[in-house]
């Protein structure tokens, strides 16, 4: 056989090889062209790896003492045994033995056979080493790919503004929330590393990091869907608020009740003058009104929760409504020493539920009074009306304690009080503004609030001019 | 000048018909072990000498080999051929008594061929047996000079020792025909294949002809020669710091740090092959 033929045979057989086993099948096939062997065994790390024919195991005793010698010498050798030969062909790369092919033949090996086997052992060593490397690299790649794809975080690598890599989770996120890509792009330029973004119905926490990979700058983005964490957080907050609310409302109910009980007890048990009885009865009456107010709030709130709150619209003079509200809060205003200013004498009629709008204004005024700033010399609550044709704006402005900027968007939430802790420094159920908002919205209106903490608060109720 | 004499001076031994036949038989791809055994057996002494070498510690065979045909299939045709040529080289070296120590020169030849084979193995160069033979023959020019002008080589060696300059450099500076040229010429006359001629010619400085088709072999023997001079200094008749041709790194694909690793390895190889290097082949004829 010519060396060219041997090499073409080798190339042909090797091209079919996919793993170590198939490599040995190929080598066995090629070797048959070089030596007419009876049996061929492949020994990898002292144990039999492959045999051709399958049941032909060559007796180890014939060659075992030569294995270390072959490993050291790295040349093919033939050991005469009776009238035939045991051939040992080391497969190696560099000076590292990868395996030994053992074969038996009755043919006496020629110089050419040994030369060809030497050539095969070099070539197969290279192929085997490459196969093992490939296998190693494949396993390593599969491992890291699996880890990346099983991660519950989305991982994306951007290169020159394009997505170069993304794991399964990130494809999922991008598919469900396409807007997130735009958010990421704006963050890439911002040099921020960690941030959270809010999309409709979903929250994400994200990190954007510039990395050096393969000598060039890339951007590594990790995205985590934290919607459920956020929901749990919200639920916890609501739960806390409700607990506070119950404690708060019990306190609110108990205070007037205690007063009524004490005053009534005194009237019943202690001989008193008519004037004294009158004075006591007035207090009892005021406390009953307060109690009624709280119970009304609760009733409204339960209607609000069950969506059974109804409004009845009728043409209403807004001027009269405001005056009535001022009358209602007058007593409270003098108690807190708050001056109420109202300068509007036009007759302006809008179509609304008179009782409910009065409730709204009363509530807003009450807040202005309750949250007035004792440290200020002059405490004022101003009420104004603006009419721009389509809408009527009722503006309640005060120079009270104001609302901290981070709390301002929460004040219309149910149960919410800025001083949420149970300090009771200012009485209230925390339901008022939630009810107010609901009423205004049922009128197709809107309510907004502006404030500067420690300085002033301005609440604007906008109602359609019908 | 010396070159012209090579062919006519009768003191220079030529490989006899038997050696020539061994070379051609071992190189014939279709030769069987029996055929090669038959050729070698024509000289009974040669067979026993070869068997003695095969069974030496350097080859480290697990079982003693008693038949030449076994030796041929176990260590290979070319190794047996190399051993036959070693026997010839040994006897050529010892054919006459001159002013220099032929045992020393022999040990340099042998260690260089052994290390050439080891370097080939370490870097994955396949034609190890050819490199062994090239290593054995690389300094054959020194043998020729010694046989033609024994006093001249003695003076060269003395000068090298006293000045601490390698013999090759002295030859170069004197502008005389160097042992590399003479060795190459002798191998040509002996009808050795071109690779051995190239190695003999270039082994001191392979970069003299980087285009040689056998540049890898030249570089391997160049390195082996250098290690041999470090391990057993002075045996090559040359002294001083050996020249390391930087071309070896590029041609053999090794790093300077590999040289240290090789050195550690070669210390062991040297220990194992002492009986080959110093034992000679002539001293004992029995197996």
Residue A145, in any domain of the structure: no
Q: Are residues A389 and A299 in the same domain?
A: no
**Residue closest to B224 by CA, chosen among B89, B121, B145:** B121
- What ranges do the domains of chain B cover? 2-285
Inform me whether the C-beta atom of residue B32 falls under 8 Å from chain A C-beta atoms. Answer: yes
The CA distances from residue A114 to A111, A201, B72, in Å, are 5, 75, 10
Inform me whether the C-beta atom of residue B65 falls under 8 Å from chain A C-beta atoms. Answer: no
**Interface with A, mutate which of B74, B265, B273 (most A CBs under 10 A):** B74
C-alpha dihedral sign at A384, A386, A392, A393: negative
Give the domain B2-285 fold: Hypothetical protein af1432 (1.10.3210)
Q: Are residues A377 and A352 in the same domain?
A: yes
**Residue closest to B188 by CA, chosen among B6, B27, B2:** B6
Is residue B166 pLDDT above 80, yes or no? Answer: yes
What phi, psi does A28 have (nearest 5°)?
-60, -40
The CA distances from residue B20 to A122, B40, B95, B152, in Å, are 30, 11, 19, 30
| A176-224 pLDDT, tens digit each | 888 888 888 888 777 778 888 888 788 889 898 888 988 888 989 999 9
Q: Please, are residues A169 and A156 in contact by the beta-carbon 8 Å criterion? A: no
Question: What is the structure's pLDDT at A90?
Answer: 94
Strands A380-387, A339-342: pairing kind: parallel
Residue A230, in any domain of the structure: no
Q: Helices B179-189 & B140-148, crossing angle to 10 degrees?
A: 90
Is residue B160 pLDDT above 90, yes or no? Answer: yes
Question: What is the structure's pLDDT at B30?
Answer: 86
Nearest to B29 among A76, A78, A110 (CB): A110
Strands A77-81, A216-225: pairing kind: unpaired
CB contacts, 8 Å: A111 with chain B: 26-31, 36, 77-78
Q: What is the CATH number of the domain that holds A221?
A: 3.30.450.20
Inform me whether the C-beta atom of residue A111 falls under 8 Å from chain B C-beta atoms. Answer: yes
- Mean per-residue pLDDT over chain B, rounded: 88
CB contacts, 8 Å: B122 with chain A: 94-95
The distance from CA A303 to its chain's CA centroid, rounded to whole angstroms, is 35
**Three-state SS at A125:** helix
C-alpha to C-alpha distance for A256 and B273, rounded to whole angstroms: 113
DSSP, residue by residue, chain B? -HHHHHTT-TTS----HHHHHHHHHHH-TT-BHHHHHHHHHTSHHHHHHHHHHHTSTTT--SS----HHHHHHHH-HHHHHHHHHHHHHHHHHTSS--SS-HHHHHHHHHHHHHHHHHHHHHHT-S-HHHHHHHHHHTTHHHHHHHHH-HHHHHHHHHHHHHHT--HHHHHHHHTPPPHHHHHHHHHHHTT--HHHHHHHHHTT-GGG-TT-TTHHHHHHHHHHHHHHHHHSTTTTS--SPPP--THHHHHHT--HHHHHHHHHHHHHHHHHTHHHHHH-SSS----
Q: With bands split at pLDDT 50, 70 and 90, how would you rate the model's confidence at B183? A: very high
C-alpha to C-alpha distance for A363 and A367, rounded to whole angstroms: 6
pTM score, whole prediction: 0.65
Burial class (CB in 10 A: 0-12, 13-18, 19+), A129: middle
Domain final residue pick, A103, A138, A173: A138
**Residue closest to A92 by CA, chosen among A105, A114, A76:** A76
Residue A401, in any domain of the structure: yes
Residue A285, in any domain of the structure: yes
CB contacts, 8 Å: A93 with chain B: 124
CB contacts, 8 Å: B76 with chain A: 75-77, 114
**Interface with B, mutate which of A6, A94, A111 (most B CBs under 10 A):** A111
CB contacts, 8 Å: A65 with chain B: 62-63
Is A75 in contact with B128 (Cβ distance < 8 A)?
yes
Inform me whether the C-beta atom of residue A449 falls under 8 Å from chain B C-beta atoms. Answer: no
Instruction: Say how many CA atoms lie within 13 Å of A97 toward its Cβ.
Output: 21
CB contacts, 8 Å: A69 with chain B: 60-62
The CA distances from residue A96 to A93, A214, B124, in Å, are 5, 31, 10
CA distance B56 to chain A (A): 14
Q: Which of residues 117-136 of B touch A (CB under 8 A)?
A: 121-122, 124, 126, 128
Q: What is the CATH number of the domain that holds A104?
A: 3.30.450.40
The CA distances from residue B194 to A119, B29, B198, B218, in Å, are 22, 19, 6, 12
| B127-156 pLDDT, tens digit each | 899 999 999 999 999 999 998 888 999 999
**Chain B residue with minimal CA distance to A115?**
B29
Q: Are residues A154 and A252 in the same domain?
A: no
Q: What is the CATH number of the domain that holds A385?
A: 3.30.565.10
Cβ-Cβ contacts under 8 Å between A and B: the total is 60
Q: With bands split at pLDDT 50, 70 and 90, how would you rate the model's confidence at B283? A: very low
CA distance A128 to chain B (A): 15
Inform me whether the C-beta atom of residue B27 falls under 8 Å from chain A C-beta atoms. Answer: yes
Residue A144, in any domain of the structure: no
Q: Are residues A327 and A448 in the same domain?
A: yes
Q: Are residues A126 and A156 in the same domain?
A: no
Nearest to B74 among A77, A94, A111 (CB): A77
pLDDT tens track of chain A, all 466 residues? 678 888 888 888 888 888 888 889 999 989 988 899 999 999 998 889 999 888 889 988 899 999 999 998 899 999 998 889 999 999 998 888 889 999 999 988 888 888 899 988 888 888 888 888 888 999 999 999 999 999 889 999 998 888 889 999 999 888 888 888 888 888 877 777 888 888 878 888 989 888 898 888 898 999 998 888 888 888 888 788 777 778 777 877 888 888 899 989 998 998 888 998 898 898 899 889 888 888 888 888 777 777 777 888 888 888 888 888 888 888 888 888 888 888 776 778 888 888 888 888 888 888 888 888 888 888 888 888 888 888 888 899 888 888 888 777 777 776 666 555 444 455 566 677 888 888 888 888 889 888 888 888 899 998 888 7
Burial class (CB in 10 A: 0-12, 13-18, 19+), B177: middle
How many distinct structural domains can be found in chain A? 4
CA distance B120 to chain A (A): 10
Residue A143, in any domain of the structure: no
Give me the residues paired with residue A317 across strands: A349
Residue A378, in any domain of the structure: yes
Domain final residue pick, A285, A305, A325: A305
Question: Strand runs (DSSP E) across A192-313, as ranges?
Answer: 194-199, 202-213, 216-225
DSSP letter at A193 equals -
Nearest to A111 among B62, B70, B77 (CB): B77
Nearest to A111 among B28, B62, B63 (CB): B28
Question: What is the structure's pLDDT at A422?
Answer: 42
Kindly state the tokens that stand for B226: 């250098």
CA distance A63 to chain B (A): 10
CB contacts, 8 Å: A68 with chain B: 62
Is residue B212 pLDDT above 90, yes or no? Answer: yes
Average pLDDT over residues B78-82: 91
Inform me whether the C-beta atom of residue A69 falls under 8 Å from chain B C-beta atoms. Answer: yes
C-alpha to C-alpha distance for A404 and A36, rounded to whole angstroms: 95
Is B73 in contact with A65 (Cβ distance < 8 A)?
no
Domain span at A177: 150-225
Is residue B194 pLDDT above 90, yes or no? Answer: yes
Domain final residue pick, A203, A225, A247: A225
């Amino acid at each position: 056989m010519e060396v060219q033929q041997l090499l073409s045979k080798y190339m042909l057989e090797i091209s079919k090889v996919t793993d170590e086993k198939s490599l040995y099948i190929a080598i066995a096939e090629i070797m048959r062209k070089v030596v007419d062997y009876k049996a061929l065994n492949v020994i990898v790390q002292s144990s039999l790896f492959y045999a051709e024919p399958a049941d032909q195991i060559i007796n180890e005793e014939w060659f075992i003492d030569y294995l270390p010698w072959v490993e050291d010498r790295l040349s093919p050798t033939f050991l005469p045994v009776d009238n035939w030969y045991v051939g040992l062909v080391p497969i190696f790369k560099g000076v590292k033995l990868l395996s030994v092919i053992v074969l038996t033949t009755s043919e006496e090996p020629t110089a050419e056979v040994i030369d060809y086997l030497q050539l095969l052992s070099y070539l197969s060593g290279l192929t085997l080493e490459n196969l093992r490397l490939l296998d190693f690299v494949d396993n390593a790649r599969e491992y890291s790919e699996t880890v990346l794809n099983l991660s519950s975080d989305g991982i994306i690598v951007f290169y020159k503004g394009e997505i170069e890599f993304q794991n399964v989770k990130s494809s999922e996120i991008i598919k469900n929330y396409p807007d997130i890509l735009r958010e990421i792009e704006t963050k890439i330029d911002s040099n921020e590393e960690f941030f959270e973004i809010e999309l409709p119905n979903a929250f994400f926490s994200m990190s954007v990091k510039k990395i050096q990979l393969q000598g060039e700058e890339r951007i590594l983005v990790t995205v985590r869907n934290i919607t459920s964490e956020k929901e749990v957080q919200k639920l916890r907050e609501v739960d806390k608020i409700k607990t506070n609310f119950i404690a708060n409302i019990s306190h609110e109910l108990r205070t007037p009740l205690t007063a009524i009980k004490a005053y009534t007890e005194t009237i019943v048990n202690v001989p008193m003058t008519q004037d004294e009885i009158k004075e006591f009865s007035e207090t009892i009456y005021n406390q009953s009104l307060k109690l009624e107010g709280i119970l009304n709030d609760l009733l409204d709130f339960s209607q609000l929760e069950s969506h059974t709150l109804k409004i009845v619209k009728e043409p209403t003079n807004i001027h009269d409504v405001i005056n009535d509200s001022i009358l209602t809060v007058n007593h409270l205003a003098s108690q807190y020493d708050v001056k109420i200013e109202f300068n509007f004498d036009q007759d302006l009629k809008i179509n609304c539920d008179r009782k409910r709008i009065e409730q709204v204004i009363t509530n807003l005024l009450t807040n202005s009074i309750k949250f007035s700033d004792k440290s200020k010399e002059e405490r004022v609550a101003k009420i104004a009306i603006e009419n721009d044709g389509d809408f009527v704006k009722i503006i309640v402005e005060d120079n009270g304690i104001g609302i901290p900027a981070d709390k301002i968007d929460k004040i219309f939430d149910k149960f919410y009080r800025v001083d949420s802790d149970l300090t009771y420094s200012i009485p209230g159920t925390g339901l008022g503004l939630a009810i107010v908002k609901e009423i205004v919205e049922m009128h197709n209106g809107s309510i907004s609030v502006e404030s500067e903490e420690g300085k002033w608060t301005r609440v604007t109720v906008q109602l359609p001019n019908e | 000048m010396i070159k012209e004499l090579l062919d006519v001076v009768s003191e220079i031994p030529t490989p006899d018909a038997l050696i020539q036949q061994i070379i051609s038989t071992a190189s014939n791809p279709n030769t069987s072990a029996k055929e090669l055994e038959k050729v070698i057996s024509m000289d009974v002494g040669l067979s026993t000498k070869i068997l003695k070498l095969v069974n030496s510690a350097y080859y480290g065979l697990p079982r003693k080999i008693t038949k030449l045909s076994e030796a041929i299939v176990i260590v290979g045709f070319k190794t047996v051929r190399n051993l036959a040529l070693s026997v010839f080289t040994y006897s050529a070296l010892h054919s006459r008594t001159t002013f220099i120590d032929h045992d020393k020169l022999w040990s340099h030849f042998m260690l260089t061929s052994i290390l050439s084979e080891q370097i080939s193995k370490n870097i994955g160069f396949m034609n190890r047996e050819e490199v062994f033979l090239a290593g054995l023959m690389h300094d054959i020019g020194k043998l020729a000079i010694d046989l033609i002008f024994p006093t001249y080589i003695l003076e060269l060696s003395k000068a090298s020792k006293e000045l601490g300059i390698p013999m090759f450099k002295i030859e170069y500076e004197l502008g005389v025909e160097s042992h590399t040229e003479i060795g190459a010429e002798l191998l040509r006359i002996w009808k050795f294949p071109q690779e051995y001629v190239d190695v003999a010619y270039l082994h001191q400085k392979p970069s003299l002809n980087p285009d040689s088709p056998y540049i890898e072999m030249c570089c391997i023997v160049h390195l082996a020669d250098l290690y041999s001079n470090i391990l057993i200094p002075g045996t090559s008749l040359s002294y001083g710091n050996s020249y390391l041709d930087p071309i070896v790194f590029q041609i053999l694909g090794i790093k300077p740090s590999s040289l240290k690793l090789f050195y550690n390895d070669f210390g062991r190889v040297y220990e194992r092959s002492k009986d080959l290097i110093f034992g000679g082949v002539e001293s004992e004829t029995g197996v």
